[in-house]
């Protein structure tokens, strides 16, 4: 059978539990404060942006490496037979874009 507690022990338990409850309420107050919530949201967004930007950089880097491999020989010399058509195609697309913009303005 458990020993009976004295009024002093009961009072000490009550005081200790009040202090624990006060700490818990303070923690909840900090976590639920708008500045804390906004700060956490900003950190999550920044992390997501960093992750997305890193993935985009890696994809662009792979694409550039692939294009370079197609436009150069193994020794690094340019493949003129591939560069000239790409340059002409690029010039044609840019020309069409310029004409399109001029027609919209005019």
CA–CA gap between residue 34 and residue 70 (Å, rounded): 53
* Average pLDDT of the segment spanning 57-79: 93
pLDDT score for 62: 96
pTM of the model: 0.48
pLDDT score for 85: 92
Residue by residue, DSSP assigns the chain as: -PPPPPHHHHHHHHHHHHHHHHHHHHHHHHHHSHHHHHHHHHHHHHHHHHHHHHHHHHHHHHHHHHHHHHHB-TTS-B-HHHHHHHHHHHHHHHHHHHHHHHHHH-
Phi, psi of 3 (to 5 degrees): -70, 150
Give per-residue pLDDT as tens, 9-29.
Answer: 999 999 999 999 999 999 999
Confidence band, pLDDT 50/70/90 cuts, at residue 52: very high
What b/e sequence results for 84-102 when a residue is b if at least 16 CB atoms lie within 10 Å of its CB, and e otherwise? Answer: eeeeeeeeeeeeeeeeeee
């Amino acid at each position: 059978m458990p020993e009976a507690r004295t009024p002093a022990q009961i009072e000490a338990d009550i005081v200790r539990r009040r202090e624990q409850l006060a700490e818990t309420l303070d923690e909840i107050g900090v976590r639920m404060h708008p500045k804390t919530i906004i700060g956490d949201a900003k950190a999550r967004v920044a992390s997501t942006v960093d992750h997305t930007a890193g993935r985009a950089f890696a994809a662009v880097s792979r694409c550039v490496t692939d294009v370079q491999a197609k436009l150069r020989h193994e020794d690094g010399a340019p493949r003129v037979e591939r560069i000239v058509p790409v340059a002409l195609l690029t010039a044609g697309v840019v020309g069409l874009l310029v004409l399109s913009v001029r027609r919209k303005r005019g």
